[in-house]
Structure 1
């Protein structure tokens, strides 16, 4: 089965969705959407460094994303606004990475596959990296769920309960960097933020608790990945953008249904 490229692509898309969607809930709750996007853009510099030193892409992308995230976290509140720092770091690392890639000679580079993903080219090693990273992120979220959630809702209450908000922020940053590193092969650096945010935003109207939102988001992400992969195969469209497009369609559809139900409920109350 693992010799079938569609089977490998299916497993890779599910692995990324199961890791990215629950993490995306924290990204939404903490209003860190731009942070996730900036981390993804920094991955291009990691790709350039990995090609330069002929090292695994996962290692360099993870290292660059962690350095970027920690630099922003350490400089924020010291005369720099968070959004300014994110903008400078994200676009600078993206530009430097693209320029560095152009200087590589003797290396065949499919830049589009790094920007928008090339899930159909996922190999067995890539599949192991994706699922290893996904399981790491899921176990990290489950292990630190109480601390992460309490630090997100009320940092002072978290500190009083024995949780260090800065440590929880660091754990979230590490998990985000791992997701970016494993998802680059599936949807590319320009679409990773969508895999984090869109399923979580879609799950919000159907969730009565934070735990439920994380589970529903993972389900929406997995279904969107499978549907997008199938649609891409049938329509001969780019797989990564198709998966994100399907996720966006689910978000629009659920939003419309929620608005209709809310309007009908309000009309019934008024009567």
Structure 2
């Protein structure tokens, strides 16, 4: 069954959606959307380093995304507004990655694939890595769920309960880096942020509890991946952007009609 490239693509999309779902909820709750973009843009530099040292792409992307997340976290609070710092780091990381790729002579790089994803080219090995990464992210978030939720929704209660905000931020940073490494093959570096933000934004007006929002986000992300794949196959459009378009369409629908549904 896994010899069918559409089946592999569908499973890759669902695995990526499951990895992004719980993390995306915290990205929305903590207003970390630009933080996700900065980490995702650093992935291209990881691709260049992996190709330069002939190492696994996912390892290079993971190391680069994690380094960017830690760097941004370390530089915050040093006089610059956080959105300014994230804007500088996001664009600088993308520019450095593009320049590094262009300077690599003798290495053929599918730049568009890494920027916008190439889900139809997912192999069985890629599929195993995607689902392994998704399992790590989901397991990590489930393990720290209550602590993360308390630190996010009620920082004062978290502090009085002995919950370290920096530790929980580090957990989210690691999960975000793994998600970026998982998602780059599916939607690419430029669209990872959309996959993290749009499905939870769709689920937010429909959910009544944090747990239900996380589960609905997983369903919406999976539906967007499968629906986008089907639409791209039907209309011969780029798959990664089409997945994001389907998710954006669901966002418009829930924004317009969500209040009526939840009454």
TM-score computed with the length of structure 2 as normaliser: 0.97
Q: Distance in 1 between matches of 2:156 and 2:77?
A: 18
The answer for the alignment partner of 2:146 in structure 1 is 146
Matched residue of 2:204: which SS? helix
The answer to whether the 8 A contact 2:40-2:65 is kept is yes
The answer to whether the 8 A contact 2:38-2:93 is kept is no
The answer for the alignment partner of 1:115 in structure 2 is 115
The answer to whether the 8 A contact 2:206-2:258 is kept is no
The answer to whether the 8 A contact 1:42-1:68 is kept is yes
> Could you report, residue by residue, the CA deviation over 1:189-248 in whole angstroms, capped at 9, with x for unpaired residues?
000011111000000111110011000011111111111111111111111001000000
Matched residue of 1:31: which SS? coil
| 1:107 positional shift | 1.2
Q: Distance in 2 between matches of 1:107 and 1:44?
A: 15
Q: Distance in 2 between matches of 1:156 and 1:238?
A: 46
The answer for the alignment partner of 1:243 in structure 2 is 243
The answer to whether the 8 A contact 2:200-2:217 is kept is yes
Q: Distance in 2 between matches of 1:12 and 1:209?
A: 28
| 1:259 positional shift | 4.9
| 1:10 positional shift | 0.7
What pairs up with 1:80-159 in 2 under 5 angstroms?
80-159=80-159
What pairs up with 1:150-169 in 2 under 5 angstroms?
150-169=150-169
The answer to whether the 8 A contact 2:36-2:176 is kept is yes
TM-score computed with the length of structure 1 as normaliser: 0.94
Report the RMSD for the aligned CA atoms in angstroms: 1.2
The answer for the alignment partner of 1:60 in structure 2 is 60
* Structure 2 residue ranges without an equivalent (≥5): none
The answer for the alignment partner of 2:38 in structure 1 is 38
Q: Between Structure 1 and Structure 2, whose CA radius of gyration is higher?
A: 1
Q: Distance in 1 between matches of 2:250 and 2:93?
A: 32
Matched residue of 1:205: which SS? coil
Q: Distance in 2 between matches of 1:99 and 1:151?
A: 39
| 1:106 positional shift | 1.5
What pairs up with 1:219-230 in 2 under 5 angstroms?
219-230=219-230
Q: Distance in 2 between matches of 1:214 and 1:259?
A: 19
The answer to whether the 8 A contact 1:21-1:197 is kept is no
The answer for the alignment partner of 2:254 in structure 1 is 254
Q: Distance in 1 between matches of 2:85 and 2:226?
A: 36
Runs of 4+ off more than 3 Å: 259-262
Q: Distance in 2 between matches of 1:228 and 1:253?
A: 16
Query: Are positions 1:19 and 2:19 aligned together?
Result: yes
